[in-house]
A and B are shown apart, each in its own frame.
Chain A
Amino acid sequence: MTNSSQPVLQIRDYSLAYHVPAGPVPVLKGINLQIERGEILGLVGESGSGKSTLAGAVMRYLSGNAHENDGGIFLGDTDLRAQTQRAMSDIRGRRMSMVFQDPATSLNPTLRLGEQLAEVLIRHRGLSRAQAWREGEARLAHVGLKTPAEMMHRMPHEVSGGEKQRVVIATAFACNPELIIFDEPTTALDVITSRQILDLFAELQSETGVASLYISHDLALVSQTAGRVAVLEKGNIVEEGETRELFRNPVHSYTRALIDAVPRPERRLVQPLAAASAPPLVTIRDVSVSYGRKSLLDSVLRRDFQAVVGNRAITLDIRPGEVLGIVGESGSGKSTLAKAMTGLNRFDGLIEFDGRPVRGLTDMNRDYRRDVQIIFQHPDASLNPRQKISEILARPIRLYGDRADGSARDRIAAMLERVRLPASYIDRYPHQLSGGEKQRIAIARAFLSNPRLVICDEITSALDVSVQASVIDLLMELHRDTGAAYVFITHDINLIRQIAHRIAVMYRGDLIEVVEADRIGDSDRAPYTQQLLSAVTAPASALGG
């Protein structure tokens, strides 16, 4: 249908604005893009850059208040903007398809996986139910699922995240489309699983030669996947070029800033620990956490009760002023440990803080509470929406402050300046701040009590790359100034290699090992650590330099 000289996807001078009561909000401005057959174009942008809207525009799936200019979007020689919705439903799934961010939400939870794959084959290739089912099995085998026949009959909740995403990918490739849009297809997956999905994608891509638009916020990942990269900033494509070239010589300042913001393990942001031999600040001995409670019925029927294990006998030291990284996939028990240390979870075992034993909630006295602070992942959830910043930040001062330090308001203003926020924010509500600003408030709250240990639970994962970099800078600055020890929980291994002195690796509730940050790449590491590390996408600079 498409002749070989023509690009598969062509976007010309395309602009779009959302009309809201306050007036039009421009989202895409004069976009020009094209993708050739067999090519992968990476589209990089932060949240709010308009990248998802662009995907919607290509699929002709826009919300009612979207107003477009008269720019063109062509799939081969088909003018997509001239198609009716009915005609589009013939094109979607057949000539172009899409892979979404989170397979857990993009699959219908109440339909069998097989049906969700087969329905596309029935709709677009005119197969009968039986034929479609057989073809579906073959497709599932093709995306590396071991037991395709069984998989067809499973419900989404019965398979893992990686398996779900494989089914979604099989569906996208089912009708041999000309174009596939990948919208952050690995963001919701664990490190090792995303590596496998990326390998599968590369394999299918080279085999079918489908043109791909690969949307991601992750520069490092795009640098390894795409042949060409376009950088989207606030609706403008500020730079576009061949991947190697773009990373080696970024022209636009925004591109440069983005590349600089990507964590690089060899660029250490933390000084070596001065007193490595000092007695530990915190000693964690055989700390276990389990969830669940024996029900009345179980007791009546004298049945055994199986508790869910969160942590299994964790033993760990934290030195004064140390940054200890904890890495692991979701469900590895990283956050469970953080909650046990802050009295949010019951635990068995012993925590010693500065020589004082803590066996449970009752041992966590005023001093312990002041010395150990926690910062959560989502500032939206950790800041009370009905309290002003002034009240939120006044609490640690009221609880632990020194009368001599001046008025609470002055101290809050000083702290706001330290976390580089304007003093006028003191009378605002959290929802009037951006995500990065809210996280700075949460950091300010933790440091107002002059803690000796700060637990950071995935505090940058909800933030954009550039915002993340500035929050990390702030944390490291506070680390230098206050000398507080950090427990930094994250799944971003490149980031933790930059800022941690030692790294603890966790897997399914067990502590696998604790290693010096610069020795984590050594060949005598535990097998799981090696697996984890090899799954991490090497940062962009490795490719550029």
Chain B
Amino acid sequence: MSANYILKRIALIFYTLFIVSVLVFGITQILPADAAVMMLGENATQEALEALRQRMGLNDPVWMQYLHWAGGVLQGDFGTSLRTGQPVGPALFSALGTSLTLAGFALIFMLILAMPMGVIAAIRRGKPADLIVGFISYIGVSLPEFVTATLAVMLVADMWGLLPPAGYIPLSQDFWGGLERLILPVVVVSVMMIAHVSRMVRSELVDVMHTDYIRAARLKGLHPRRVLFRHGLRNALLPTITIVALDVGYLLGGVIVVEEIFSIPGIGRSLMSAIQNRDLPVIQAGVMIMAATYSIVNFAADLMYAWLDKRIQYD
């Protein structure tokens, strides 16, 4: 891996954010909402509205508005919320922290479950264990988050009363209480990824175990454990890094639904309410932050892959 490659990837992140910003800005411009009316209310006078439009630059050409907005974003200023009148940036970044906590726990939980599931299914191919894992993953990829969430709340919270049905407490405030409320959301948001990733791990490992070098390792008389762990798993898990990173896009989508259902004050929930209220600056900033998160995770995954797999010579 060369400095050249890293440079290229970073340039790509900026290109991605540029495209996303144009897209989001474009969409929010077409939205049938008048920011001035939203801020001053339906009963405001024409003069007051016109004055506000002038001040906010709403009468400028679209491209000037875009440059103005993008310039602000580059300086860390995401504008002010039309609904609350507060700066968008700080509120969204603290919400992002909450969402990342949720997503992070979900990622770890997913890896802890999906990896062994995939490995067991692969080494016991065609046996009951494989069929069970296959069955679970078919069910898993076929359940949208809102169904899993509703069913989980119905069973675990309402009928059995094991866990609180909703709510969020920051871990820094009350660690165990916060964790207790995170369990259901984390499980729900990771179900789909567990199903997908365990299937990928299985098929990668099955492919690897059929390669010539695994046969060679076995015919060298190596211990089966060494053949599996040192020769097999390493090569099978490498492509999984990329798959998991791509799935983060899906995870972020799931986070929106789960935050909505479990009333977690994360970025997904902020975005949902902004979309319902046509709060343009919040929508713009929220989508940008989500896209940036996704891009950075994928960049990190590519770096990790290149670092682990010395074969690949990026240029």
Chain A–chain B contact at Cβ < 8 A: yes
A residues whose Cβ falls under 8 Å from a Cβ of B = 59, 61, 88-94, 97-98, 100, 102, 105-111, 119-120, 123-124, 155, 157, 168, 171, 295, 297
- Asked whether B221 lies within 8 Å of A91 as measured between CB atoms, the reply is yes
Task: Report A-chain residues with C-beta under 8 Å of the C-beta of B7.
Answer: 297
- Asked whether B231 lies within 8 Å of A98 as measured between CB atoms, the reply is no
- Asked whether B220 lies within 8 Å of A109 as measured between CB atoms, the reply is no
Most chain A beta-carbon neighbours within 10 Å: one of B222, B234, B235, B311:
B222
Q: What is the predominant secondary structure among interface residues of chain B facing chain A? A: helix
Q: Does B223 contact A (CB under 8 A)?
A: yes
Give bound CA distance, A155 to B11, whole Å. Answer: 30
- Asked whether B309 lies within 8 Å of A110 as measured between CB atoms, the reply is yes
Give bound CA distance, A91 to B215, whole Å. Answer: 15
- Asked whether A106 lies within 8 Å of B230 as measured between CB atoms, the reply is no
CB-contact partner of A157 in B212, B230, B311, under 8 A: B311
CB-contact partner of B230 in A111, A120, A168, A295, under 8 A: A111
Q: Does B224 contact A (CB under 8 A)?
A: yes
A-B contact pairs, 17 of them (CB 8 A): A61-B215, A88-B221, A89-B221, A89-B222, A93-B219, A93-B221, A97-B219, A98-B216, A106-B213, A108-B217, A110-B308, A110-B309, A120-B220, A123-B221, A123-B226, A124-B221, A297-B7
**Closest residue of chain B to A292, judged by CB?**
B315
- Asked whether B234 lies within 8 Å of A90 as measured between CB atoms, the reply is no
Question: Which positions 223-240 of chain B face chain A at CB distance < 8 Å?
Answer: 223-224, 226, 230-231, 234-235, 238
CB-contact partner of B11 in A88, A157, A168, A297, under 8 A: A297
- Asked whether B219 lies within 8 Å of A98 as measured between CB atoms, the reply is yes
- Asked whether B220 lies within 8 Å of A59 as measured between CB atoms, the reply is no
- Asked whether B213 lies within 8 Å of A109 as measured between CB atoms, the reply is yes
Closest 6 pairs between A and B when the two form their complex, measured CB to CB: A93-B221, A92-B221, A105-B212, A93-B220, A106-B216, A108-B213
Give bound CA distance, A107 to B226, whole Å. Answer: 15
**Given A111-B230, A111-B231, do A105 and B211 touch, yes or no (CB 8 Å)?**
yes
CB-contact partner of A92 in B211, B220, B309, under 8 A: B220
- Asked whether B311 lies within 8 Å of A109 as measured between CB atoms, the reply is yes
CB-contact partner of B216 in A94, A100, A123, under 8 A: A100
**Closest residue of chain A to B231, judged by CB?**
A108
**Given A105-B212, A109-B213, A110-B309, do A123 and B234 touch, yes or no (CB 8 Å)?**
no
**Closest residue of chain A to B232, judged by CB?**
A108
- Asked whether B211 lies within 8 Å of A97 as measured between CB atoms, the reply is no
Give bound CA distance, A155 to B309, whole Å. Answer: 10
- Asked whether A120 lies within 8 Å of B235 as measured between CB atoms, the reply is no
Interface size on B, residues (CB 8 A): 27
Q: Does B218 contact A (CB under 8 A)?
A: yes
Tell me how far the C-beta of A111 lies from the nearest C-beta in chain B, rounded to whole angstroms.
7
- Asked whether B212 lies within 8 Å of A123 as measured between CB atoms, the reply is no
Give bound CA distance, A107 to B214, whole Å. Answer: 9
Q: Does B4 contact A (CB under 8 A)?
A: yes
Q: Does B310 contact A (CB under 8 A)?
A: yes
Question: Which positions 300-315 of chain B face chain A at CB distance < 8 Å?
Answer: 308-311
Q: Does B124 contact A (CB under 8 A)?
A: no
Q: Does B8 contact A (CB under 8 A)?
A: yes
Give bound CA distance, A332 to B221, whole Å. Answer: 39
Task: Report A-chain residues with C-beta under 8 Å of the C-beta of B311.
Answer: 109-110, 155, 157
- Asked whether A92 lies within 8 Å of B212 as measured between CB atoms, the reply is no
**Closest residue of chain A to B126, judged by CB?**
A64
- Asked whether A119 lies within 8 Å of B212 as measured between CB atoms, the reply is no
- Asked whether B310 lies within 8 Å of A155 as measured between CB atoms, the reply is yes
Task: Report A-chain residues with C-beta under 8 Å of the C-beta of B230.
Answer: 111, 119
Tell me how far the C-beta of A541 lies from the nearest C-beta in chain B, rounded to whole angstroms.
34
- Asked whether B11 lies within 8 Å of A93 as measured between CB atoms, the reply is no
**Closest residue of chain B to A174, judged by CB?**
B220
- Asked whether A110 lies within 8 Å of B216 as measured between CB atoms, the reply is no
**Closest residue of chain B to A90, judged by CB?**
B221
**Given A102-B212, A155-B310, A157-B311, do A110 and B219 touch, yes or no (CB 8 Å)?**
no
Give bound CA distance, A109 to B231, whole Å. Answer: 9
Give bound CA distance, A111 to B220, whole Å. Answer: 15
Tell me how far the C-beta of B228 lies from the nearest C-beta in chain A, rounded to whole angstroms.
13
Give bound CA distance, A59 to B226, whole Å. Answer: 19
Give bound CA distance, A429 to B101, whole Å. Answer: 56
**Closest residue of chain B to A107, judged by CB?**
B213
- Asked whether B217 lies within 8 Å of A94 as measured between CB atoms, the reply is no
